[in-house]
Structure 1
Amino acid sequence: MATVVYPGSFDPITNGHADLIERASRLFGEVIVGIARNVSKQPLFTLEERLELVSTVTGGLPNVRVMPIDGLLVDFVAAQGAQVILRGLRAVSDFEYEFQLATMNRHLRPQVETIFLTPAEQHAFISSSLVKEVARFGGDVSVFVHPRVGEALRRQIAAGR
């Protein structure tokens, strides 16, 4: 079975991300969750913290690995022996950007395919940015993230990050 890479910053991982990872684990022989350093963003969590949180959330899925990504995604995909990139689409507004990424990746490595999955409808509106904003203002994010992620969010916000 094929190997798929699901890339993202996962700052933090949400239940929407976890839904896509779990579903991908049933469709592919191996799922590699690639966590990007993403120098253009100011993450709330360090790369190491994000690796740990994603590993915790996906720990019950034996065919899922969590790894950092440095450099071009298509180079990472090739280095892992993967054939597919998985991207999530929450809404039509995501499509234009994701289409641009998929087209560029196809140009760089034509043998790597990009597929899109939509999250379950109860997760379709969840984004990491929105979860962080709700948490910063003291809102309850427990229905949007794994309990361990919720605890980590509370600690980071209490520490003033």
Structure 2
Amino acid sequence: MSVSTVPAVLDALVARARAALPEVQVLDGGPHRDTDPDVVAIGFTGDPGEAAVEDTRTREQLATSPDRERYEITSLASSWRGEEHDAKAVRDRVYEMLDALAAELERDQRLGGLVNRARLSSGAFAQEQTNKGAVATVRFVVSVDAFTR
């Protein structure tokens, strides 16, 4: 029996993000080097060392196993276009990436049977003009409902 589905679900989210966004750099965790103009970081809040998954396990009725597991995985999507200061272009692009990821999750909310349900549940948008151009970032949350194995 596994204590949590989190590791397998993170693997599945990375694989599905890569399938849905083949032209985007998809990272498993935070950036570790210079990134491409469009990037999705699965399991990363934007602050190194900050917890990206909040997990709660409960017992269902009188069963001793498996545990019911509910958690949220915080991730980032970001778009930048170099010296361009076109806020609309990066804003539209970051939401286009989120739309593709949400559609991929909607296609199979059970992640191939790993969970009962996984869905994009919230997001926090930030944009700024820097001396290196416009950047738009969305911190998004995938909510998961599962049973441990």
TM-score, structure 2 as length reference: 0.30
Higher helix fraction (1 or 2)? 1
TM-score for the superposition, normalised by structure 1: 0.28
User: Higher strand share goes to which structure?
Assistant: 2
Task: Give 1 or 2 for the bigger CA radius of gyration.
Answer: 2
